[in-house]
């Protein structure tokens, strides 16, 4: 039956004690193991109130009954060997380990993993063991200032690595104030410091409770419960967990206090301002508070010590935890470390919510489009530095040097985890929580070598639930759908692995169906052969699954979870007894047994089944069993017919029963499918919203970029245009200037033209006049005596004039009368004289024009004026 050793996960079953208010019938029975009575491995699931349903039996690596303590679970699940594998005392990188819990809501997963106010869970116990084992070899940011940067350089997950003190300074507030409760309050330690109490003031402020303790105080611790602000408002309520935990031993214990950080006056820490926003009211926090408030109003029930966190006002910081629970005490358990190595521990925590990964230690970021504070989902992928195994990229990792710091980081992360009040659990986890402890190591003093190491992952899965029982609606119902869906896939993977353990055929585990199974199983297989010589082949991780169940809880949900997770399974379908056989033998009817969820079919499996059969006679309702001592009867034909009929009835009953089993299974599948559909719708909506916001962001950004580019372009264009205009204007002015100059030239040309025209006119005039003169000369020649004709004109003119004067004198006529006489008689002498004068004037003009002075005078004057002058001169000449 114990087939877990060949599986990827060891699967343990833990039964929780009945809650005080639970009066349900117990349907789970632990089978006493004949071979090893000390450790039961099987349970039988007896359907309550319906004796016709199949009885199922499940096998696990080990079953923890209700009275098993946290320490029992710690011991028997092998947490210490897992821690040893991670610490790797014999050298090498070590082996990754994973401890997960799976179960119906309220079955005790968180209690097992994170404990309560009075008891440590597996997480704190594992942390305690790790820090105690590496205590003397741990490096901190005080002793090694380059620690952060060296770890950063060798980290394969693009993480944001900071020191615990820096983180805690930003996340936790005034140590003297009342402490805020968180979803799962981790147990605190009250105790005295060992002799090496930190002396630095900042260390004292980190450990406020410890600063008043004298170094001589004993190193003992005691348990202290924190009064919750919620409880302190009224009378303190009885804590269900405390009442329900009858086997919680509060004995004195004396574990050593976690090693405290030495001893430097100067803190070399990164002060991450972004942490100031760490506790801003996120949507999850708001929803969490709303739901819790409404639930506590109606239900008034508190889930153990795990009180709902109060609303997280903006920039409100958490109260520093001052004490740690010390129970159970594991100081006697030790794991050795690699003496040649120095160690550093990195803590990170994330949740898988609606199939997406969210960092619980990073502050939410404000969305560009909606201005809402939201966490950004992270990717689970192989990176350049880690080609052989997938890592969650971009997580915030905190370097812790002792248990106290690690617990404070855990507490801060839990405060951010999504929880809600449901009908099944007043503080129900709505996400799968992953708490990771990376133990980094490198050879002592070899600061140039990279950090290697392994990781312990502790997973607190969200519980499966039925909407009817949980009374969920809206977003919480959709969350439940998503949770159930991921658990269904996990169940398929677990079933595959257990099938693989049973058969010789290799079975592929379909772990890529959702984020949860990817995270749980991706690193469970040997890494593929690597081509890069730098990468080393890693050991596949070791896995432990603790299935929690409430034997008085919901039968259907529990049976479903057990069916998924059990390493071995056997169904016993009660066979309908033949009336004949009952009559004849009076003994119990036979049963049919099926293994590993096979659909019942005849013939039944041989009785050599490895699982013990839990057989029970079946009697149809109203039919009472006959006593086995009944005497044999004689049979008549009628009784034979009766027997035949009874056989037929019995066969039909059998078929009916088989159909019932099938029906039940189908119903469950349908419910799971419906839940899947619901959650799918919700997640689609969510994704659409995310997508819309991302697109809005992108578009807004692009718009802004384009807008600024366009503005720049327009500015450039405008400038160019201005420059062009200026050039154009300058050119215009130049052209105008040139144009004005051209006008002057034109004027000159025009003047010249006019002058030429005038010259031509004058020449023509000249010609004409010459012609007239010629004509007149001829006329005169005709009129004058022969001698006079042969004389030159000038002589004749002069002589003519003198002759005319002598004639006038002779005749005694005055020149006036003479002139009048000439004009009256149209005298030729006058005319001839006028023409000569004209010619002389023209000659003068021509000569004047030829002379430079006269040219200059003409050129300088305006052509119009010149024309006017010329015309005037002519007129004067004419008048003359």
- Contact status: 103 vs ligand ATP (CB under 6 A): yes
Q: CB atoms < 10 A from the CB of 833, how many? A: 16
Q: What is the per-residue binding string for ligand ATP in 460-479, x denoting contact by CB under 6 A?
A: --xx----------------
Query: Which H or E run includes 548?
Result: strand 542-549
Residue with tokens 């003397």: 136
Q: Which residues ranging from 285 to 344 are in contact with ligand ATP (CB under 6 A)?
A: 303-304, 306
**To the nearest 10°, the Cα dihedral for 229, 233, 471, 552?**
80
Contact (CB, 8 A) for 543 and 531: no
- Contact status: 497 vs ligand ATP (CB under 6 A): no
Rounded to a whole number of angstroms, the minimum distance from the CB of residue 38 to ligand ATP is 20
Rounded to a whole number of angstroms, the minimum distance from the CB of residue 49 to ligand ATP is 24
User: How far apart, in Å, are the Cα atoms of 537 and each of 49, 153, 154?
Assistant: 54, 20, 17
Contact (CB, 8 A) for 102 and 545: yes
Rounded to a whole number of angstroms, the minimum distance from the CB of residue 430 to ligand ATP is 8
Rounded to a whole number of angstroms, the minimum distance from the CB of residue 419 to ligand ATP is 7
Which region, judged by CB under 6 A, interacts with ligand ATP, from 105-113, 190-198, 685-693, 696-704? 105-113
Dihedral angle sign, alpha carbons of residues 520, 526, 531, 532: positive
Rounded to a whole number of angstroms, the minimum distance from the CB of residue 306 to ligand ATP is 6
Which region, judged by CB under 6 A, interacts with ligand ATP, from 102-110, 359-367, 560-568, 841-849? 102-110
DSSP sequence for 339-393: TTEEEEEEEEEEEEETTEEEESSSPPEE-TTT--EEPPEEEEEE-SS-SSSEEEE
Residue (421 or 589) nearer to ligand ATP, CB: 421
Which region, judged by CB under 6 A, interacts with ligand ATP, from 99-107, 501-509, 565-573, 677-685? 99-107
The single residue among 182, 240, 559, 582 that binds ligand ATP, judged by CB under 6 A, is: 240
For 775, residues 6+ apart whose C-beta sits below 8 A from its C-beta are none
Interior angle at CA 203, CA 305 and CA 327, nearest 5 = 30
20-29 own/partner pairs: CB under 8 Å, 24+ apart: 20/240, 20/243, 20/244, 22/550, 22/552, 22/553, 23/552, 24/48, 24/552, 24/553, 25/49, 25/552, 26/551, 26/552, 27/551, 27/552, 27/555, 27/558, 28/549, 28/551, 28/558
Q: What is the per-residue binding string for ligand ATP in 245-264, x denoting contact by CB under 6 A?
A: x-------------------
Residue with tokens 């013939």: 603
The single residue among 3, 42, 109, 418 that binds ligand ATP, judged by CB under 6 A, is: 109
Rounded to a whole number of angstroms, the minimum distance from the CB of residue 564 to ligand ATP is 15
The single residue among 425, 431, 476, 541 that binds ligand ATP, judged by CB under 6 A, is: 425
DSSP sequence for 78-143: THHHHHHHHH-TTSSS---EEEEEEEBTTSSHHHHHHB-SSSB-HHHHHHHHHHHHHGGGB--TTT
Rounded to a whole number of angstroms, the minimum distance from the CB of residue 471 to ligand ATP is 13
The single residue among 85, 106, 364, 481 that binds ligand ATP, judged by CB under 6 A, is: 106
Residue (239 or 493) nearer to ligand ATP, CB: 239
Binding-site positions read 103-110
Q: Which residues ranging from 5 to 24 are in contact with ligand ATP (CB under 6 A)?
A: 16-17
Which region, judged by CB under 6 A, interacts with ligand ATP, from 149-157, 385-393, 421-429, 765-773? 421-429
Residue (110 or 312) nearer to ligand ATP, CB: 110
**To the nearest 10°, the Cα dihedral for 301, 303, 305, 311?**
-80
Q: Considering CB under 6 A, how many residues would be counted as binding ligand ATP? A: 24
Which region, judged by CB under 6 A, interacts with ligand ATP, from 33-41, 424-432, 663-671, 713-721? 424-432
Q: What share of the chain is helix, strand, coil (3-state, %, to 5)?
A: 45, 15, 40
Binding-site positions for ATP read 103-110
Q: List the one residue out of 108, 164, 98 whose CA is nearest residue 131.
A: 164
Q: List the one residue out of 770, 786, 792 whose CA is nearest residue 838.
A: 770
Residue 695, Cβ density class (10 Å: 0-12 exposed, 13-18 middle, ≥19 buried): exposed
The encoded tokens of residue 398 equal 């905190």
The encoded tokens of residue 838 equal 């004209």
**765 three-state secondary structure:** helix
DSSP sequence for 55-73: EEEEE-SEEE-TT--HHHH
- CA 779/CA 831 separation, integer angstroms: 12
Residue (343 or 358) nearer to ligand ATP, CB: 358
Which region, judged by CB under 6 A, interacts with ligand ATP, from 226-234, 236-244, 641-649, 787-795? 236-244
- Contact status: 244 vs ligand ATP (CB under 6 A): yes
The single residue among 7, 61, 95, 105 that binds ligand ATP, judged by CB under 6 A, is: 105
Which region, judged by CB under 6 A, interacts with ligand ATP, from 109-117, 523-531, 648-656, 803-811? 109-117
For 411, residues 6+ apart whose C-beta sits below 8 A from its C-beta are 182, 185, 186, 318, 321
Rounded to a whole number of angstroms, the minimum distance from the CB of residue 304 to ligand ATP is 2
Rounded to a whole number of angstroms, the minimum distance from the CB of residue 550 to ligand ATP is 8
Q: What is the per-residue binding string for ligand ATP in 56-95, x denoting contact by CB under 6 A?
A: ----------------------------------------
- Contact status: 111 vs ligand ATP (CB under 6 A): yes
Residue (22 or 137) nearer to ligand ATP, CB: 22
Query: Which H or E run includes 569?
Result: strand 568-574
Residue (107 or 197) nearer to ligand ATP, CB: 107
Q: Nearest residue to ligand ATP, using CB?
A: 304
Contact (CB, 8 A) for 379 and 147: no
Residue (185 or 591) nearer to ligand ATP, CB: 185
The encoded tokens of residue 272 equal 């991450």
Residue (54 or 244) nearer to ligand ATP, CB: 244
Residue (322 or 548) nearer to ligand ATP, CB: 548
Q: CB atoms < 10 A from the CB of 700, how many? A: 12
Rg of the chain over Cα atoms, rounded to whole angstroms, equals 58
What are the helix (H) ranges across 503-590? 515-521, 555-565, 579-585
- CA 672/CA 675 separation, integer angstroms: 5
Residue (61 or 107) nearer to ligand ATP, CB: 107
Rounded to a whole number of angstroms, the minimum distance from the CB of residue 158 to ligand ATP is 31
The encoded tokens of residue 611 equal 């699982």
Q: List the one residue out of 455, 459, 263 whose CA is nearest residue 344.
A: 455
Rounded to a whole number of angstroms, the minimum distance from the CB of residue 201 to ligand ATP is 38
Q: What is the per-residue binding string for ligand ATP in 536-575, x denoting contact by CB under 6 A?
A: ------------x---------------------------
User: How far apart, in Å, are the Cα atoms of 607 and each of 186, 404, 595, 613, 733?
Assistant: 50, 56, 12, 8, 117
Rounded to a whole number of angstroms, the minimum distance from the CB of residue 425 to ligand ATP is 4
Residue (517 or 572) nearer to ligand ATP, CB: 517
- Contact status: 428 vs ligand ATP (CB under 6 A): yes
Residue (159 or 487) nearer to ligand ATP, CB: 487
Q: Which residues ranging from 667 to 696 are in contact with ligand ATP (CB under 6 A)?
A: none
Which region, judged by CB under 6 A, interacts with ligand ATP, from 55-63, 266-274, 291-299, 425-433? 425-433
- Contact status: 116 vs ligand ATP (CB under 6 A): yes
- The tally of CA atoms less than 13 A away on the side-chain side of residue 373 is 17
- Contact status: 185 vs ligand ATP (CB under 6 A): no
The encoded tokens of residue 864 equal 């119009």
Give the binding site for ligand ATP (CB under 6 A): 16-17, 103, 105-111, 116, 240-241, 244-245, 303-304, 306, 425, 428-429, 462-463, 548
């Amino acid at each position: 039956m114990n087939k877990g050793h060949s599986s990827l996960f060891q699967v343990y079953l833990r039964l929780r004690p009945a809650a005080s208010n639970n009066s349900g019938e117990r349907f789970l029975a632990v089978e006493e193991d004949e071979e090893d009575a000390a450790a039961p491995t099987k349970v039988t699931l007896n359907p309550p109130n319906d004796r016709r349903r199949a009885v199922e039996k499940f096998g696990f690596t080990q079953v923890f009954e209700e009275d098993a303590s946290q320490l029992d679970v710690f011991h028997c699940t092998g947490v210490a060997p897992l821690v040893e594998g991670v610490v790797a005392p014999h050298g090498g990188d070590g082996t990754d380990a994973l401890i997960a819990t799976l179960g119906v809501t309220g079955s005790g997963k968180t209690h097992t993993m994170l404990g309560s106010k009075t008891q440590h869970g597996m997480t704190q116990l594992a942390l305690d063991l790790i820090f105690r084992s590496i205590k003397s070899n741990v490096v901190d940011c005080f002793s090694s200032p380059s620690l952060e940067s060296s770890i950063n350089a060798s980290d394969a997950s693009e993480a944001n690595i900071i020191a615990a003190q820096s983180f805690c300074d930003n996340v936790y507030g005034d140590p003297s104030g009342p402490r805020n409760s968180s979803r799962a309050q981790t147990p605190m330690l009250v105790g005295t410091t060992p002799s090496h109490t930190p002396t630095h003031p900042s260390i004292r402020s980190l450990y406020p409770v410890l600063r008043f303790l004298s170094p001589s105080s004993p190193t003992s611790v005691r348990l202290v419960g924190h009064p919750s602000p919620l409880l302190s408002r009224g009378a303190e309520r009885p804590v269900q967990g405390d009442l329900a935990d009858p086997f919680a031993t509060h004995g004195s214990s004396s574990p050593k206090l976690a090693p405290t950080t030495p001893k430097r006056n100067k803190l070399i820490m990164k002060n991450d301002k972004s942490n100031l926003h760490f506790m801003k009211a996120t949507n999850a926090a708001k929803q969490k508070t709303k739901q819790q408030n409404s639930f506590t109003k109606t239900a008034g029930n508190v889930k153990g010590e795990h009180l709902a966190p109060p609303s997280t006002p903006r920039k409100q910081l958490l109260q520093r935890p001052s004490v740690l629970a010390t129970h159970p005490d594991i100081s006697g358990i030790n794991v050795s470390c690699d003496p040649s190595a120095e160690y550093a521990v990195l803590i990170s925590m994330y949740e898988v919510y609606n199939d997406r990964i969210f960092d619980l230690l990073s502050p939410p970021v404000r969305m560009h489009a909606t201005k809402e504070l939201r966490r950004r989902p992270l990717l689970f992928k192989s990176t350049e530095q880690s080609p052989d195994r997938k890592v969650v990229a971009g997580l915030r990792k905190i370097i812790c040097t002792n248990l106290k710091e690690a617990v404070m980081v855990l507490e801060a992360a839990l405060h951010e985890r999504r929880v809600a009040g449901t009908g099944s659990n007043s503080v129900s986890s709505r996400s799968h929580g992953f708490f990771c402890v990376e133990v980094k190591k490198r050879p002592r003093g070899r600061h140039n070598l990279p950090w290697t190491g392994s990781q312990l992952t502790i997973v607190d899965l969200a519980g499966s639930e039925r909407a009817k029982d949980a009374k969920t609606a809206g977003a919480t119902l959709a969350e439940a759908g998503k949770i159930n869906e991921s658990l269904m896939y996990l169940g398929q993977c677990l079933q595959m692995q257990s099938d693989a353990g049973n058969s010789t055929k290799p079975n592929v585990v379909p772990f890529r169906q959702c984020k949860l199974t990817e995270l749980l199983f991706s690193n469970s297989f040997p890494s593929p052969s690597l081509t890069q010589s730098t990468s080393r082949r890693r050991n596949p991780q070791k896995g432990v699954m603790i299935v929690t169940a409430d034997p008085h809880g919901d039968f259907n949900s529990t049976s479903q979870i057990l069916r998924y997770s059990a390493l071995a399974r056997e169904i016993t379908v009660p066979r309908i007894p033949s009336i004949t056989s009952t009559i004849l033998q009076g003994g119990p009817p036979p049963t049919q047994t099926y293994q590993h969820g096979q659909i019942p079919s005849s013939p039944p499996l041989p009785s050599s089944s490895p699982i013990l059969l839990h057989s029970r006679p079946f009697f149809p309702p109203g039919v009472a069993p006959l006593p086995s001592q009944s005497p044999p009867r004689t049979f008549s034909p009628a009784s034979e017919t009766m027997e035949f009929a009874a056989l037929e009835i019995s066969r039909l009953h059998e078929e009916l029963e088989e159909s019932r089993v099938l029906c039940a299974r189908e119903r469950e599948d349908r419910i799971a499918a419906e839940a899947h559909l619901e959650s799918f719708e919700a997640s689609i909506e969510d994704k659409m919203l995310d997508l819309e916001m991302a697109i809005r962001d992108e578009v807004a950004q692009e718009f802004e970029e384009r807008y600024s580019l366009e503005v720049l372009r327009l500015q450039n264009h405008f400038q160019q245009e201005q420059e062009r205009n200026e050039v154009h204007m300058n050119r215009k002015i130049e052209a105008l200037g040139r144009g004005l100059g051209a006008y002057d030239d034109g004027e000159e040309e025009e003047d010249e033209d006019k002058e030429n025209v005038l010259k031509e006119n004058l020449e023509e005039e000249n010609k004409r006049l010459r012609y007239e003169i010629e004509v007149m000369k001829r006329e005169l020649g005709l009129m004058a005596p022969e001698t006079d004709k042969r004389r030159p004109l000038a002589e004749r003119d002069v002589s003519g004039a003198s002759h005319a004067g002598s004639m006038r004198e002779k005749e005694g006529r005055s020149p006036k009368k003479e002139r009048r006489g000439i004009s009256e008689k149209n005298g030729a002498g006058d005319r001839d004289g006028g023409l000569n004068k004209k010619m002389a004037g023209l000659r003068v003009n021509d000569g004047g024009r030829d002379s430079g002075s006269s040219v200059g005078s003409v050129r300088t004057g305006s052509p119009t004026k010149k024309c006017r002058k010329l015309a005037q001169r002519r007129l004067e000449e004419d008048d003359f």
